[in-house]
Amino acid sequence: MRNYKEEYQRWLDSPALSEQEWAELNAIADDEKEIESRFFAPLEFGTAGLRGTMKLGLHNMNIHIIRHATQAFANVIAAEGQAAKDKGVAIAHDCRLNGRAFAEEAACVMAANGIHVRLFDALRPTPELSFAVLRYGCAAGLNITASHNPKEYNGYKVYWSDGAQLPPQKAEQIAKQMEEIDIFTGFKTCDFKTAVAEGKIEILGQETDEEFLENVMSQAIDREAVKAAADDLKIVYTPFHGCGYKLVPEALKRLGIKHLYPVPEQMVIDGSFPTVVSPNPENPEGFYLAVDLAKEVGADLIIGTDPDSDRIGIMVPDGDGYSVITGNQLGVLLLDYVITARKATGTMPENPGALSSIVSTGMARAVAEKNGVHFEDTFTGFKFMAERVASWEAAGSYKYIFAFEESYGYMMGDYVRDKDAVTAAMMVTEMAAHYRGLGMNLLQALNALYEKYGWYMEKTLNLVMPGLDGLQKMKNLMDSLRSQPPMEIAGEEVVRLRDYLDGSIFVTGLGKVDKTPFWGSNVLYFELTDGSSFIIRPSGTEPKIKVYLLIRGKGREDCQARLQKYLGYAEALGK
Tell me how far apart the alpha carbons of residues 133 and 415 are, in angstroms, rounded to a whole number: 10
Q: Is 147 in the active site?
A: yes
Torsion of Cα atoms, 34 then 36 then 38 then 44, to 10°: -150
> What letter does residue 148 receive in the DSSP assignment?
T
Our separate counts of H helices and E strands in the chain read 20, 23
Q: Nearest Cα to 537, choosing from 520, 554, 552?
A: 520
Residues 6+ apart with CB under 8 A from 331: 356, 360, 361, 364, 404, 405, 406, 410
3-class SS at 386?
helix
Q: Nearest Cα to 456, choosing from 336, 339, 332?
A: 332
- Residues comprising the chain, all counted: 575
Tell me how far apart the alpha carbons of residues 178 and 50 are, in angstroms, rounded to a whole number: 12
CA angle, 142 then 146 then 152, to 5°? 135
Catalytically annotated residue among 37, 130, 147, 309? 147
Q: Nearest Cα to 534, choosing from 572, 494, 573?
A: 494
Detail the DSSP E strand segments found in 62-173. Answer: 89-93, 117-120, 140-144, 153-160
Residues 6+ apart with CB under 8 A from 476: none
Pairing of strands 259-262, 234-238: parallel
Q: Give the Å distances, CA to CA, from 507 to 362, 379, 491, 549.
A: 20, 21, 17, 20
User: Which ranges in 355-495 belong to alpha helices (H)?
Assistant: 363-370, 382-395, 421-437, 442-453, 467-483
What are the phi and psi torsion angles at 410 (to 5°)? -140, 145
- Give me the half-sphere count of Cα atoms (radius 13 Å) on the Cβ side of residue 382: 29
Per-residue three-class SS string for 44-77: CCECCEEEEECCCCCCCCCHHHHHHHHHHHHHHH
Active site residues: 147
